[in-house]
Amino acid sequence: MTLPPPNPPRVPSLEPGNRRIICPLSPAHIAGIAAFHLYAILLFVDIRTAPLPLLAFLLACAIAPFLPRVGFFLPIVGRGKPGEKGVALTFDDGPDPEVTPLLLDLLDRHSVPATFFVTGERAARHPAIIRDILSRGHSIGNHSYHHFPFLMLKGMRTLRREIESTQSVLAGFGVVPMAFRPPVGITNALLWRVLLEQGMFCVNYSCRAVDIGNRRIGRLSEKVLKAVSPGDIIALHDIAPRHAGTERLMAEFDALLRGLKEKGSEVVPLDRLIGREVMRRGESPGEVHPAALFYDVLATDYDREQFCSPVSIVRKTEYALFEARLPSLVSLSDRVLEIGAGTGIFTLAIARRCREVTAVDISASMLEKLKEKAVGEGLTNIRMITGDAETMDIGGGYAVACAFSSLEYLSDLPTFFRRLSARIDPGGILYFLTARRSLFRLFAQIGNAMRQGLWLKAHSRREIEAMLSASGFVEIRVTSHLLKSWVSGGILLEVAARRRIDPSPTAGP
């Protein structure tokens, strides 16, 4: 009997007053815009060839969903991170009472880990097997609720329900999958938005035996061993074979594991292979902010990217402005709040000059890097808090509050400034650097949307001044920097303001 899907969990990203700036801009969007522009140009050049760009775009849209590693509609994790020598085993469509328990025993005998992309329907029917998978140290991913082979042909409402319902079922086992594998590996243009809402990412595969859901298991191990290479994500199925016995399937799996060992291919956990968490424990579905997911992955390489890549021009300018301001910004007796502290690029310098820094960031992995740095320097006056500064309790009684290219992530900056005003001591200072709205900045916003799926807000000088004034700040100074020319007033705003000493009627709790 098929169990009905549970009621979908509430998704914070969709609730009024807490709307994320989700913007899943993909190569498909850019290709579509380019195709229409070429079409318009060719209408005046050769009307016979004008439809060709549109036809090419439609052809790409038709083919791309069936290419499991092509991120045309969304970013896809299709194999291990660069330099990874191991391989990862993944099993789809289960759990199956005939196959999965035997497979778990086999994995134990070979001492290898695996990731099980389970369907919500089967997980609800076989809870003991899900508990067994977890108790043996394996990870679990989301493979939709009903496993419709052509789920991607359905609308967003169905797609969202299929993913959320499975998340809800698995939350009952104390886990929240971060990785989603679409049925048959097929993607579409709607999937990225749904995954961003849930704080998830898409994982497909780079090596498989084309077993058609264990309908064809003959020479399965031989096919995989012939094709596998370092860094591969191997896709298999833990469901009963259609035209052979379970014993034969187990024999093929056993031959595969022995063959991988003989080839010197180490089987590693999927999260290690791809450098991303496949699942988390003890959280509720939908609680992960898309920005947290992105920066958790980036944390290890964040500092190198910030100072050794094209974005370094912005970060180096920010740090130079901050360094010049720092001596007059904080004193040894101050308590300082930093919003979006990240790995501590600015935090450590602040901590050396004040009594205490409260470092808030949405990414736990970024703050772990900050903690490592603080320990290395012997700094004990940094208090780290993981969470969304826009909605969490950030404390109060600060002499200084600052932020460096992090306010762009906030969905309601005027409301946040009003909250923040109440946390800063009367006469205290607010200092931040943020994106200035301009044509040059627009290109950066488009690039970020393609990379993170989030639209980072930029503001004009007048908007910043109006928001701060309405929130009880005075002595507001806003200056623009970087790429200033006759066509651009700069792409970076440096802002300093002082909290009004007499309580402002607009500054709420």
Q: Tell me: cis bond preceding 95? Omega within 30 of 0 counts.
A: yes
Phi-psi label, residue 239: left if phi above 0, alpha if psi -120 to 50, beta otherwise: beta
Question: In one letter, which amino acid is 388?
Answer: D
Decide the pairing of beta strands 335-339 and 356-361: parallel
385-397 exposure pattern, b = at least 16 Cβ within 10 A, e = fewer: bbebbbeeebeee
Taking only Cα atoms into account, the Rg of the chain, rounded to an integer number of angstroms, comes to 26
CB 237 within 8 A of CB 92: yes
- Alpha-carbon span 67 to 27, nearest angstrom: 15
Question: Which helix (H) or strand (E) covers residue 39, if one does?
Answer: helix 27-45
CB 60 within 8 A of CB 31: yes
- Alpha-carbon span 377 to 8, nearest angstrom: 47
- Alpha-carbon span 438 to 435, nearest angstrom: 9
Tokens 């596998």 correspond to what residue?
228
138 is catalytic: no
92 is catalytic: yes
What is the number of alpha carbons within 13 Å of residue 273 lying toward its C-beta?
29
126, 138, 237, 481: which one is catalytic? Answer: 237
- Alpha-carbon span 161 to 93, nearest angstrom: 18
Query: Catalytic site residues?
Result: 92, 237
